[in-house]
Copies of this chain bind each other. A is one copy, B any other.
Amino acid sequence: MPRLADPALPERRRGQILDAARNCFRERGFRETTIEEICAEARISPGMLYRYFGSKADIVAAIALDARASAESAFEQLNESEALLDALADLARTFLQAFSAEGDRALLPDIWAEAARDPVLAKALKARDAIAAAKLAGAISRAQRAGGVYPALTAEDAAEALLAGLEGLALRRALWTEEDMNAAVRRFRALALLVLKPKR
């Protein structure tokens, strides 16, 4: 088998294409950007692009999974923190930032629309989500044992509810541009307070 001229080339190319795509999507959105525009930005030909991605949808899918992966680190840190609420606020900020890289507020709805029609992407996102939900549930039950969080709560259900709330807030932020990041994070914090600390 012939050895590759440069074994790192494929990975570099992929990154190059994804960077170009992210730039274009930010400017004009997923639907409005053209394969040709991505190619121009990445300085390659269409033929080349299709060697690395099977379709335009595959490109958003890859971006979506990248963003999820980068948001995942915030879920890791949940257990390290003493103050669960502060950690949750950080998590919300990281999540919102990962999916609105440099101000593309519509990326998340694009991803969701894509996922709703593409079972492969949906499944991949769901797998990521299950991991995140488990980590969140773990942090919640840890906090329950330590006191400070209502003990009768089912940690898994609370985690699900919080994730749904976070995604709902992200959606509203995407549609209604005025709302800035900090406001969304505050809202999430308030929601988490209501859900987790029902004793007052």
What residues make up the interface of A, taking CB atoms closer than 8 Å to B? 29, 31-32, 105-106, 108-110, 112-113, 115-117, 122, 125-126, 150, 152-153, 157-158, 160-161, 163-169, 171-172, 174-177, 187, 190-191, 194-195, 197-200
Q: How far is the CA of A116 from the CA of B108 in the complex (A)?
A: 9
Cross-chain contact of A172 among B164, B191, B199 (Cβ < 8 A): B164
Instruction: Decide if A117 touches B168 in the complex (CB within 8 Å).
Output: no
B-chain residues with CB within 8 Å of residue A163 when the two chains form the complex: 168, 172
Q: Report the separation of the CA atoms of residues A169 and B165 in the bound assembly, to the nearest whole angstrom.
A: 8
Chain B residue at smallest Cβ distance from A122? B175
User: Chain B residues near A198 (CB, 8 Å)?
Assistant: 194, 197-200
Q: Is the CB of A164 within 8 A of B187?
A: yes
Is A32's CB under 8 angstroms from B117's CB? yes
Report copies per complex. 2
How far, in Å, is A164 (CB) from chain B's closest CB? 3
Describe A's contact surface by its main secondary structure: helix
A126 vs B174: C-alpha distance when bound (angstroms) = 12
Cross-chain pairs A/B with CB under 8 angstroms, 6 sampled: A112-B171, A113-B113, A115-B175, A122-B176, A164-B165, A194-B194
Q: Which residue of B lies closest to A192 (CB)?
A: B161
Q: Given A115-B109, A117-B32, A200-B199, A190 and B172 touching (CB < 8 A)?
A: no
B110 and A106 form a contact (CB under 8 A) = no
A20 CA to B122 CA in the complex, in Å?
27
**A161 touches which one: B110, B113, B191 (CB < 8 A)?**
B191
A171 and B176 form a contact (CB under 8 A): no
| Closest chain B residue, CB of each to CB of A176 | B126
Residues of B within 8 A of A187 (CB): 157, 160-161, 164
Contact of A116 among B106, B157, B161, B194 (CB under 8 A): B106
